């Protein structure tokens, strides 16, 4: 019952001729989009979001397609049913030994999850996860011993070992200090617990990353020299210390590196794109395939996962408000450099580390994505002055780094684009974050979190302060109960599984560009990705544990 006005497909930059029919069209389009796509504050001090109380409030173009919606909702129901069956199945059983987790370890699981189930107690697999597990973002190579690592007298041998590894450049750390002082959840009247551990690891000559010492809590006035746990300790004490680290990694992985650094950032990019770039703009055409469904999945997360009474409140130790505190802290650390793999891996001194498969694949994907972005940008921006003089592009930049991400320019984000290079780098970051980085962070949930003791969502007893008193009852009393464990398995399968309507990177069906030159840039991108796929497949055939998350066909 109305007129729909569609421009042809050729990408073009804004002109300054007010009489130009295309110029009038793009101005009118942005005016309408400003009314439809509005910013909202989910929680003070966090990135802004799309204004939508539920997914039904979203603009129709941003909604899941019908098959996607049905699949998403049905698998959630199937997961809930599986959870109920597991609960019933375990009602008659005791919950007193680690083997009792086998009672719920059935249903949807991957071959790697089975391997984790078999080997999760091994120090080697514990260390491996910092390089290539669900969260490869925290590990860094040491340049000095951390100040928080207070070594009491009698530990001279350990100090000498640490110093030796430091001299060799083979000493690494994973510090969870961001969790220090975050309030822990209360689930069904039961207090849960959080810690802020520090792990020191060494890389042996064969390339294995092995833990040397774990400090579960940082020094405090009450405990100036907190206990240190060692591989030579009684086996259950050492296992419990490692389990505390894995629980802390679950929190930072899900909240800082998954929710904030990929989902919420992608949403800021998506909303800014809809508000500032008309459909004719080449950057709109470049970004659109990579922000599909971002607004709906995030809106559903805010109403079901991290909402009051949502999954986090029901089963995760940072739920009940701690997660919001943690996100605020994490945002203060979200620098522009941390989103660009070459800078991030250099800052963490991991470039060239043997066996760092995430690092290796991420760098290759960044390079391939950058070549694609540069190819498109150079077709439309023939010099730095064209970049500087594009008002829509400059407004889009400000919308992201001044409006959507509060105070981002203080953390190295650009507030305007002054050159082709600066624009290409930023766009590469946008595409990489929404595609490859999310793939690396999301897919591992299926493998590493299905066996709950390897990454417990919550801990139900305070961290141990002595080693001799740790019994199997302490370990089982600390790990999630049946209800929480079932919920963890169901939700990580639901979120980490391969989506049936997944479109692999570079293979979107919509033809946004009509220019033959732009098409050949996309074709080259697809060829580069196919070559990388072959390289990764060949490499993985030589490995005991293949690293699949950054295979282009999985992204």
Q: Residues within the annotated binding site for Fe cation? A: 258, 263, 438
What count of other Cβ atoms lies within 10 Å of the Cβ of residue 246? Answer: 21
Cα distance between residue 261 and residue 438, in whole Å: 9
DSSP letter for 64, please.
P
Tokens 């909702």: give the residue.
Answer: 73
The phi, psi pair for 49, rounded to 5°, reads -130, 175
Cα distance between residue 534 and residue 540, in whole Å: 10
Interacting residues of 392 by C-beta distance below 8 A, sequence separation 6+: 13, 14, 26, 30, 276, 277, 278, 281
Sign of CA dihedral 129, 134, 140, 146: negative
Give the CA dihedral 362, 367, 372, 375, nearest 10 degrees. 160
Integer CA distances (angstroms), 122 to 126, 146, 447, 535, 555, in order: 6, 25, 16, 29, 30
Cα distance between residue 320 and residue 316, in whole Å: 9
Whether residue 312 contacts residue 306, with contact meaning beta carbons closer than 8 Å, is answered with yes
- Residue 201: beta bridge partners? 172, 211
The phi, psi pair for 528, rounded to 5°, reads -60, -40
Q: What is the DSSP string of 404-454?
A: ISTTGGGGT--SS--SHHHHHHHHHHHHHIIIIIHHHHHTHHHHHSSSGGG
127: left (phi over 0), alpha (psi -120 to 50) or beta: alpha
Integer CA distances (angstroms), 92 to 98, 209, 288, 490, in order: 16, 41, 52, 21
Cα distance between residue 368 and residue 316, in whole Å: 37
Cα distance between residue 429 and residue 401, in whole Å: 13
Tokens at residue 270, please?
Answer: 């998506």
Stretch (H or E) spanning 140: strand 140-141
Interacting residues of 230 by C-beta distance below 8 A, sequence separation 6+: 158, 212, 213, 214, 238
Binding-site residue set: 258, 263, 438
């Amino acid at each position: 019952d109305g007129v729909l006005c569609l421009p042809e497909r050729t990408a073009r930059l804004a002109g300054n001729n007010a009489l130009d029919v295309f110029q009038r069209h793009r101005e009118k389009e942005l005016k309408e989009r400003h009314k439809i796509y509005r910013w909202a504050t989910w929680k003070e001090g966090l990135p802004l979001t799309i204004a939508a109380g539920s997914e039904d409030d979203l603009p129709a173009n941003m909604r899941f397609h019908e098959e996607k919606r049905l699949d998403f909702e049905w698998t959630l129901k199937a997961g809930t049913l599986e959870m109920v069956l597991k609960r019933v199945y375990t009602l008659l059983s005791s919950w007193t030994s680690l083997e009792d987790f086998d009672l719920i370890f059935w249903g949807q699981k991957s071959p790697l999850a089975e391997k984790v189930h078999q080997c999760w107690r091994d120090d080697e697999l514990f260390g491996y996860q910092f390089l290539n597990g669900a969260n490869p973002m925290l590990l860094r190579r040491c340049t000095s011993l951390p100040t928080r690592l207070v070594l009491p007298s009698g530990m001279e041998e350990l100090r000498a070992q640490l110093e030796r590894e430091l001299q060799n450049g083979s000493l690494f750390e994973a510090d969870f200090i961001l969790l220090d002082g975050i309030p822990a959840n209360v689930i069904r009247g039961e207090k849960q617990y959080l810690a802020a551990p520090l792990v020191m690891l060494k890389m042996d000559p064969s390339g294995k990353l092995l833990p040397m010492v774990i400090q579960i809590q940082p020094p405090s006035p009450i405990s100036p020299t907190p206990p240190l746990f060692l591989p030579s300790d009684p086996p259950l004490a050492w296992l419990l210390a490692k389990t505390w680290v894995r629980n802390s990694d679950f929190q930072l992985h899900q909240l800082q590196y998954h929710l904030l650094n990929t989902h919420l950032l992608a949403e800021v990019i998506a909303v800014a794109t809809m508000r500032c770039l008309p459909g004719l703009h080449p950057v709109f055409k470049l970004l659109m395939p990579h922000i599909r469904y971002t607004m709906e999945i995030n809106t559903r997360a805010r109403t079901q996962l991290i909402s009051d009474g949502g999954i986090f409140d029901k089963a995760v130790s940072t739920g009940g408000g701690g997660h919001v505190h943690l996100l605020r802290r994490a945002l203060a650390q979200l620098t522009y450099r941390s989103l660009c793999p070459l800078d991030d891996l250099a800052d963490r001194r991991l470039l060239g580390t043997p066996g760092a498969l995430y690092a290796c694949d991420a760098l290759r994907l960044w390079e391939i994505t950058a070549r694609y972005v540069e190819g498109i940008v150079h077709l439309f921006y023939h010099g730095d002055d064209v970049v500087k003089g594009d008002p829509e592009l400059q407004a889009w930049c400000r919308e992201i780094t001044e409006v959507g991400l509060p105070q981002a320019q203080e953390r190295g984000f650009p507030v305007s684009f002054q050159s082709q290079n600066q624009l290409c780098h930023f766009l590469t970051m946008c595409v990489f974050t929404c595609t490859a980085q999310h793939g690396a962070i999301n897919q591992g949930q299926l493998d590493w979190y299905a066996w709950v003791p390897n990454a417990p969502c919550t801990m139900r007893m305070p961290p141990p302060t002595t080693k001799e008193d740790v019994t199997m009852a302490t370990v089982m009393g600390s790990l999630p109960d049946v209800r929480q464990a079932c919920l963890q398995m169901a939700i990580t399968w639901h979120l980490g599984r391969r989506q049936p309507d997944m479109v692999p990177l570079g293979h979107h069906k919509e033809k946004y560009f009509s220019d033959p030159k732009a098409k050949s840039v996309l074709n080259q991108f697809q060829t580069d990705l196919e070559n990388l796929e072959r390289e990764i497949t060949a490499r993985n055939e030589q490995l005991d544990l293949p690293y699949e998350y950054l295979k282009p066909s999985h992204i």
